[in-house]
Structure 1
Amino acid sequence: MTFKDEKYLHIYAQHFPHDGAVIVGNKLALLELRRAIDEALKKRESERYLTASDGEGYEAYIFRIEDDERELFESLEMPYITQYCDVNSHIYFVNGGKENKPPNPIGILWEKE
Protein backbone atom coordinates (compact mmCIF):
# COMPACT_ATOMS: atom_id res chain seq x y z
CA MET A 1 0.00 0.00 0.00
CA THR A 2 1.40 3.39 -0.99
CA PHE A 3 0.60 6.84 0.31
CA LYS A 4 -1.59 7.59 -2.69
CA ASP A 5 -3.63 4.37 -2.21
CA GLU A 6 -4.86 5.16 1.33
CA LYS A 7 -7.13 7.99 2.55
CA TYR A 8 -4.76 9.90 4.84
CA LEU A 9 -6.36 12.84 6.64
CA HIS A 10 -5.65 14.89 9.76
CA ILE A 11 -8.26 17.20 11.26
CA TYR A 12 -6.83 19.68 13.76
CA ALA A 13 -9.30 21.49 16.00
CA GLN A 14 -8.85 25.02 17.27
CA HIS A 15 -6.82 25.30 20.46
CA PHE A 16 -8.69 28.39 21.61
CA PRO A 17 -11.09 31.05 20.27
CA HIS A 18 -9.96 32.71 17.02
CA ASP A 19 -7.29 30.05 16.47
CA GLY A 20 -7.24 28.34 13.09
CA ALA A 21 -8.68 24.91 12.40
CA VAL A 22 -6.79 22.83 9.83
CA ILE A 23 -7.68 19.91 7.58
CA VAL A 24 -4.79 18.33 5.71
CA GLY A 25 -4.75 15.16 3.67
CA ASN A 26 -3.80 13.51 0.46
CA LYS A 27 -5.99 13.81 -2.63
CA LEU A 28 -7.85 10.53 -2.04
CA ALA A 29 -8.81 11.57 1.50
CA LEU A 30 -9.86 15.09 0.54
CA LEU A 31 -12.07 13.71 -2.24
CA GLU A 32 -13.62 11.28 0.27
CA LEU A 33 -14.23 14.15 2.69
CA ARG A 34 -15.92 16.12 -0.11
CA ARG A 35 -18.18 13.14 -0.85
CA ALA A 36 -19.03 12.89 2.84
CA ILE A 37 -19.93 16.57 3.00
CA ASP A 38 -22.09 16.25 -0.12
CA GLU A 39 -23.86 13.28 1.46
CA ALA A 40 -24.46 15.16 4.73
CA LEU A 41 -25.95 18.04 2.75
CA LYS A 42 -28.47 15.61 1.27
CA LYS A 43 -29.08 13.19 4.15
CA ARG A 44 -28.27 15.26 7.28
CA GLU A 45 -25.28 13.14 8.32
CA SER A 46 -22.45 11.10 6.90
CA GLU A 47 -19.43 9.16 8.08
CA ARG A 48 -16.25 8.02 6.42
CA TYR A 49 -13.35 5.80 7.42
CA LEU A 50 -10.02 7.60 7.13
CA THR A 51 -6.45 7.00 8.26
CA ALA A 52 -4.02 9.16 10.25
CA SER A 53 -0.35 9.24 9.28
CA ASP A 54 0.49 6.68 11.97
CA GLY A 55 -1.66 4.13 10.15
CA GLU A 56 -4.48 4.21 12.70
CA GLY A 57 -7.93 4.40 11.13
CA TYR A 58 -10.83 6.44 12.46
CA GLU A 59 -14.37 7.45 11.56
CA ALA A 60 -15.03 11.06 10.57
CA TYR A 61 -18.62 12.16 11.20
CA ILE A 62 -20.24 15.08 9.40
CA PHE A 63 -23.59 16.53 10.50
CA ARG A 64 -25.76 19.15 8.84
CA ILE A 65 -27.62 21.43 11.24
CA GLU A 66 -30.87 22.77 9.80
CA ASP A 67 -31.36 26.54 9.56
CA ASP A 68 -34.09 26.38 12.20
CA GLU A 69 -31.84 24.49 14.66
CA ARG A 70 -29.72 27.41 15.80
CA GLU A 71 -30.45 26.62 19.46
CA LEU A 72 -29.17 23.07 18.99
CA PHE A 73 -25.96 24.35 17.43
CA GLU A 74 -25.49 26.96 20.14
CA SER A 75 -26.07 24.35 22.83
CA LEU A 76 -23.05 22.28 21.79
CA GLU A 77 -19.88 22.44 23.81
CA MET A 78 -17.21 24.61 22.25
CA PRO A 79 -14.78 22.79 19.92
CA TYR A 80 -11.59 24.18 21.45
CA ILE A 81 -9.11 21.59 22.67
CA THR A 82 -7.28 23.78 25.17
CA GLN A 83 -8.59 23.21 28.68
CA TYR A 84 -9.27 26.24 30.82
CA CYS A 85 -8.65 24.42 34.08
CA ASP A 86 -7.60 20.98 35.37
CA VAL A 87 -10.98 19.51 34.49
CA ASN A 88 -12.97 20.48 31.42
CA SER A 89 -15.69 22.34 33.28
CA HIS A 90 -16.62 24.20 30.10
CA ILE A 91 -15.79 27.45 31.81
CA TYR A 92 -15.57 29.03 28.37
CA PHE A 93 -19.04 28.59 26.99
CA VAL A 94 -20.41 31.66 25.25
CA ASN A 95 -23.93 30.31 24.75
CA GLY A 96 -24.71 29.38 28.34
CA GLY A 97 -28.13 29.71 29.90
CA LYS A 98 -30.20 28.27 27.05
CA GLU A 99 -33.23 26.08 27.71
CA ASN A 100 -31.59 22.73 26.98
CA LYS A 101 -28.91 23.29 29.60
CA PRO A 102 -25.76 23.62 27.52
CA PRO A 103 -23.06 22.84 27.01
CA ASN A 104 -24.17 19.61 25.42
CA PRO A 105 -21.69 17.00 24.20
CA ILE A 106 -21.68 16.42 20.46
CA GLY A 107 -23.26 13.02 21.13
CA ILE A 108 -26.67 14.68 21.10
CA LEU A 109 -26.31 14.96 17.32
CA TRP A 110 -26.70 11.19 17.02
CA GLU A 111 -29.85 11.38 19.12
CA LYS A 112 -31.46 13.64 16.48
CA GLU A 113 -31.89 10.67 14.10
Structure 2
Amino acid sequence: MSEKELYNAVVLSESLYFSDIFQKVLAQYNIVQEEHTRLTDYTYKSTFRKGGSILTSYYFANHEVMFVQASELYSLFVIALDSVIEGITGMEIYLEESNQDSSLIRMENRIVNEKGKCETFPYMQLYGQELWHSPAFLLANREGLLQLREAIDVALQNGEYRHVTSSSEGDGYDLLIKRIEEDVEWSRVETPYTGLSNKEEGTIKPSDLFSQYRIILEEE
Protein backbone atom coordinates (compact mmCIF):
# COMPACT_ATOMS: atom_id res chain seq x y z
CA MET A 1 0.00 0.00 0.00
CA SER A 2 1.38 3.41 -0.96
CA GLU A 3 1.66 6.23 1.55
CA LYS A 4 -1.42 8.40 1.91
CA GLU A 5 -1.26 12.11 1.11
CA LEU A 6 -3.47 14.81 2.58
CA TYR A 7 -5.42 17.05 0.16
CA ASN A 8 -7.29 20.26 1.05
CA ALA A 9 -10.08 21.66 -1.13
CA VAL A 10 -10.41 25.25 -2.36
CA VAL A 11 -13.20 26.87 -4.39
CA LEU A 12 -12.09 28.11 -7.80
CA SER A 13 -14.43 29.10 -10.63
CA GLU A 14 -14.14 27.25 -13.94
CA SER A 15 -13.58 30.49 -15.86
CA LEU A 16 -10.59 31.39 -13.69
CA TYR A 17 -9.10 27.89 -13.73
CA PHE A 18 -8.86 27.94 -17.53
CA SER A 19 -7.81 31.59 -17.78
CA ASP A 20 -4.39 33.23 -18.10
CA ILE A 21 -4.99 34.89 -14.73
CA PHE A 22 -4.59 31.53 -12.98
CA GLN A 23 -1.13 31.07 -14.48
CA LYS A 24 -0.09 34.70 -13.96
CA VAL A 25 -0.83 34.80 -10.22
CA LEU A 26 1.23 31.64 -9.75
CA ALA A 27 4.06 33.01 -11.91
CA GLN A 28 4.36 35.97 -9.53
CA TYR A 29 5.57 33.46 -6.92
CA ASN A 30 7.70 31.54 -9.44
CA ILE A 31 5.33 28.57 -9.37
CA VAL A 32 5.21 26.77 -12.73
CA GLN A 33 2.54 24.36 -13.95
CA GLU A 34 4.43 21.36 -15.33
CA GLU A 35 1.56 18.99 -16.11
CA HIS A 36 -2.09 19.55 -17.01
CA THR A 37 -4.06 16.40 -17.85
CA ARG A 38 -7.75 15.95 -18.57
CA LEU A 39 -8.82 12.79 -16.73
CA THR A 40 -12.57 12.83 -17.43
CA ASP A 41 -15.06 15.18 -19.07
CA TYR A 42 -14.87 17.50 -16.07
CA THR A 43 -11.84 16.41 -14.01
CA TYR A 44 -8.27 17.68 -14.45
CA LYS A 45 -4.97 16.82 -12.81
CA SER A 46 -2.17 19.38 -12.57
CA THR A 47 1.35 19.30 -11.21
CA PHE A 48 3.08 22.48 -10.05
CA ARG A 49 6.72 23.09 -9.18
CA LYS A 50 8.89 25.69 -7.53
CA GLY A 51 12.51 24.65 -7.33
CA GLY A 52 12.59 21.19 -5.79
CA SER A 53 9.07 21.43 -4.32
CA ILE A 54 6.19 19.77 -6.18
CA LEU A 55 2.44 19.97 -5.63
CA THR A 56 -0.40 17.99 -7.25
CA SER A 57 -4.00 19.14 -7.62
CA TYR A 58 -7.26 17.70 -8.90
CA TYR A 59 -9.87 20.10 -10.26
CA PHE A 60 -13.58 19.25 -10.58
CA ALA A 61 -14.97 21.74 -13.09
CA ASN A 62 -18.58 20.64 -12.52
CA HIS A 63 -18.30 21.49 -8.82
CA GLU A 64 -15.67 24.27 -9.18
CA VAL A 65 -13.61 22.64 -6.41
CA MET A 66 -9.88 21.95 -6.50
CA PHE A 67 -8.20 19.49 -4.14
CA VAL A 68 -4.64 20.63 -3.39
CA GLN A 69 -1.91 18.38 -2.01
CA ALA A 70 -0.65 19.50 1.41
CA SER A 71 3.00 19.37 0.33
CA GLU A 72 5.83 21.77 1.18
CA LEU A 73 4.54 24.05 -1.58
CA TYR A 74 0.96 24.16 -0.24
CA SER A 75 1.18 27.35 1.85
CA LEU A 76 2.81 29.40 -0.89
CA PHE A 77 0.41 27.98 -3.49
CA VAL A 78 -2.66 29.07 -1.47
CA ILE A 79 -1.11 32.48 -0.77
CA ALA A 80 -0.47 32.94 -4.50
CA LEU A 81 -4.09 32.07 -5.34
CA ASP A 82 -5.57 34.16 -2.53
CA SER A 83 -6.87 36.78 -4.98
CA VAL A 84 -8.69 34.28 -7.22
CA ILE A 85 -9.96 31.45 -5.01
CA GLU A 86 -13.24 31.94 -3.17
CA GLY A 87 -11.97 30.28 -0.02
CA ILE A 88 -10.74 27.08 1.60
CA THR A 89 -13.73 24.77 2.04
CA GLY A 90 -12.67 22.61 4.97
CA MET A 91 -13.12 19.53 2.76
CA GLU A 92 -10.03 17.41 3.30
CA ILE A 93 -9.22 13.87 2.31
CA TYR A 94 -6.37 11.36 2.42
CA LEU A 95 -5.53 9.80 -0.96
CA GLU A 96 -3.24 7.14 -2.36
CA GLU A 97 -1.55 8.40 -5.51
CA SER A 98 -1.19 4.86 -6.86
CA ASN A 99 -4.97 4.46 -7.16
CA GLN A 100 -6.12 7.48 -9.16
CA ASP A 101 -9.52 6.11 -10.21
CA SER A 102 -10.46 5.38 -6.62
CA SER A 103 -9.17 8.80 -5.56
CA LEU A 104 -11.41 10.59 -8.08
CA ILE A 105 -14.46 8.73 -6.81
CA ARG A 106 -13.62 9.49 -3.19
CA MET A 107 -13.04 13.18 -3.91
CA GLU A 108 -16.34 13.57 -5.76
CA ASN A 109 -18.19 11.69 -3.02
CA ARG A 110 -16.57 14.03 -0.49
CA ILE A 111 -17.89 17.06 -2.36
CA VAL A 112 -21.41 15.63 -2.73
CA ASN A 113 -21.59 14.51 0.91
CA GLU A 114 -20.36 17.89 2.13
CA LYS A 115 -23.05 19.69 0.15
CA GLY A 116 -25.63 17.38 1.68
CA LYS A 117 -24.68 18.47 5.20
CA CYS A 118 -25.99 22.00 4.78
CA GLU A 119 -29.55 21.27 6.00
CA THR A 120 -28.59 21.55 9.68
CA PHE A 121 -25.76 23.80 10.80
CA PRO A 122 -23.22 22.01 13.04
CA TYR A 123 -22.43 23.64 16.39
CA MET A 124 -19.80 22.48 18.84
CA GLN A 125 -18.09 24.19 21.75
CA LEU A 126 -15.18 22.88 23.82
CA TYR A 127 -14.48 23.99 27.38
CA GLY A 128 -11.09 22.84 28.66
CA GLN A 129 -10.11 21.97 32.21
CA GLU A 130 -9.39 25.02 34.32
CA LEU A 131 -7.11 23.16 36.73
CA TRP A 132 -6.27 19.62 37.84
CA HIS A 133 -9.35 17.37 38.21
CA SER A 134 -11.63 20.14 36.89
CA PRO A 135 -14.30 18.92 34.46
CA ALA A 136 -14.08 19.51 30.71
CA PHE A 137 -17.20 20.09 28.60
CA LEU A 138 -18.22 19.33 25.03
CA LEU A 139 -21.47 20.95 23.87
CA ALA A 140 -22.82 20.17 20.40
CA ASN A 141 -26.02 19.72 18.47
CA ARG A 142 -26.77 16.41 16.76
CA GLU A 143 -25.19 17.47 13.47
CA GLY A 144 -22.07 18.63 15.27
CA LEU A 145 -21.70 15.30 17.07
CA LEU A 146 -22.28 13.27 13.90
CA GLN A 147 -19.59 15.20 12.05
CA LEU A 148 -17.22 14.88 15.01
CA ARG A 149 -17.74 11.11 15.01
CA GLU A 150 -16.84 11.01 11.32
CA ALA A 151 -13.75 13.16 11.98
CA ILE A 152 -12.60 10.83 14.77
CA ASP A 153 -12.96 7.83 12.44
CA VAL A 154 -10.73 9.58 9.88
CA ALA A 155 -8.15 10.42 12.57
CA LEU A 156 -8.16 6.82 13.81
CA GLN A 157 -7.47 5.54 10.31
CA ASN A 158 -4.98 8.18 9.13
CA GLY A 159 -3.38 9.50 12.30
CA GLU A 160 -4.70 13.05 12.27
CA TYR A 161 -7.49 15.22 10.90
CA ARG A 162 -8.77 18.81 10.92
CA HIS A 163 -12.47 19.10 11.70
CA VAL A 164 -14.22 22.36 10.77
CA THR A 165 -17.15 23.34 12.97
CA SER A 166 -18.76 26.45 14.50
CA SER A 167 -19.31 28.03 17.91
CA SER A 168 -22.64 29.42 19.13
CA GLU A 169 -22.10 32.89 17.62
CA GLY A 170 -21.59 31.35 14.18
CA ASP A 171 -17.82 31.80 13.92
CA GLY A 172 -16.14 28.80 12.33
CA TYR A 173 -13.00 27.24 13.77
CA ASP A 174 -10.77 24.20 13.32
CA LEU A 175 -10.53 21.28 15.72
CA LEU A 176 -7.34 19.36 14.99
CA ILE A 177 -7.43 15.73 16.13
CA LYS A 178 -4.27 13.68 16.59
CA ARG A 179 -3.92 9.96 17.28
CA ILE A 180 -0.96 9.78 19.65
CA GLU A 181 1.41 6.87 19.13
CA GLU A 182 3.13 4.92 21.89
CA ASP A 183 6.52 6.55 21.32
CA VAL A 184 5.29 9.97 22.53
CA GLU A 185 6.23 10.82 26.12
CA TRP A 186 2.91 11.91 27.61
CA SER A 187 4.70 13.36 30.63
CA ARG A 188 6.32 15.94 28.31
CA VAL A 189 3.12 17.00 26.51
CA GLU A 190 1.92 20.48 27.46
CA THR A 191 -0.94 20.38 29.98
CA PRO A 192 -4.36 21.72 28.86
CA TYR A 193 -5.31 23.66 31.99
CA THR A 194 -6.70 27.10 31.09
CA GLY A 195 -6.29 28.44 34.64
CA LEU A 196 -2.48 28.37 34.42
CA SER A 197 -0.89 31.64 33.35
CA ASN A 198 2.41 30.04 32.34
CA LYS A 199 3.33 26.78 30.65
CA GLU A 200 6.31 24.76 31.74
CA GLU A 201 9.42 25.15 29.61
CA GLY A 202 10.57 22.18 27.55
CA THR A 203 7.10 20.73 27.08
CA ILE A 204 5.73 19.47 23.77
CA LYS A 205 3.10 21.80 22.28
CA PRO A 206 0.04 20.12 20.69
CA SER A 207 0.88 21.62 17.28
CA ASP A 208 4.33 19.98 17.40
CA LEU A 209 2.72 16.52 17.34
CA PHE A 210 1.13 16.97 13.91
CA SER A 211 2.88 15.92 10.70
CA GLN A 212 0.35 16.10 7.84
CA TYR A 213 -1.01 19.42 9.16
CA ARG A 214 2.38 20.86 10.20
CA ILE A 215 2.63 23.10 7.11
CA ILE A 216 -0.92 24.41 7.60
CA LEU A 217 -0.33 25.11 11.30
CA GLU A 218 2.89 26.96 10.53
CA GLU A 219 1.05 29.11 7.96
CA GLU A 220 -1.72 30.03 10.37
**Which category of TM-score, normalised to the shorter sequence, fits these structures?**
0.7 to 0.9
8 Å contact from structure 2 (residues 129, 135) kept in 1: yes
Partner residue of 2:190 out of 51, 66, 77: 77
Q: TM (normalized to structure 1)?
A: 0.75
2:150 and 2:138 map into 1 onto residues whose CA distance is 15
**Equivalent-residue separation in structure 2 for 1:22 and 1:30 (angstroms):** 13
Gaps of 5+ in 1: 91-100
User: Is 1:107 the counterpart of 2:207 in the alignment?
Assistant: yes
Q: In the alignment, which of 118, 138, 144 is matched to residue 23 of structure 1?
A: 138
Q: State how far apart, in whole Å, the 2-side matches of 1:57 and 1:46 are.
A: 16
**5+ long unaligned stretches in structure 2:** 1-118, 213-220
In 2: Cα distance, 1:36 partner to 1:49 partner:
9
Counterpart CA distance in 1 for 2:122 and 2:199 is 35
Give per-residue Cα distances to partners, 1:10-43, cap 9 Å, x unaligned. Answer: 0110000101111110000001111111111110
In the alignment, which residue of structure 1 is the partner of 2:111? none
The aligned counterpart of 1:11 is 126
| Aligned residues between the structures | 94
1:54 matched residue in structure 2 = 169
- After superposing on structure 2, the runs of 4+ consecutive aligned residues of structure 1 that deviate more than 2 Å are none
Q: Looking at secondary structure, tell me which structure has more helix per residue.
A: 2
Give the structure with the higher percent strand: 2
Q: Which is higher, the Rg of structure 1 or of structure 2?
A: 2
- Normalising by structure 2, report the TM-score: 0.40
Aligned equivalent of 1:96: none
Q: Distance in 2 between matches of 1:107 and 1:9?
A: 21
- Greater length-normalized contact order (CA 8 Å, ≥ 6 residues apart): 1
CA–CA distance in structure 2, aligned partners of residues 48 and 89 of structure 1: 26
3-state SS in 1 of match to 2:206:
coil
Percent of aligned positions that are identical: 32
1:38 matches 2:153: yes
Query: Which position in structure 2 is the counterpart of 1:65?
Result: 180
Kindly state the Cα deviation for residue 102 of structure 1 after the two structures are TM-superposed. 3.1
Q: Helix, strand or coil for the counterpart of 2:162?
A: strand
Report the alpha carbon displacement of residue 74 of structure 1 after superposing the two structures with TM: 2.5
Distance 1:89 1:29, change over 3 A: closer
Conservation of the 8 A alpha-carbon contact between 1:76 and 1:102: no
Shift of residue 75, structure 1, vs aligned partner = 1.6
1:47 positional shift:
1.1
AA aligned to 1:109 is L
In 2, the alpha carbon distance for the partners of 1:63 and 1:89 equals 21
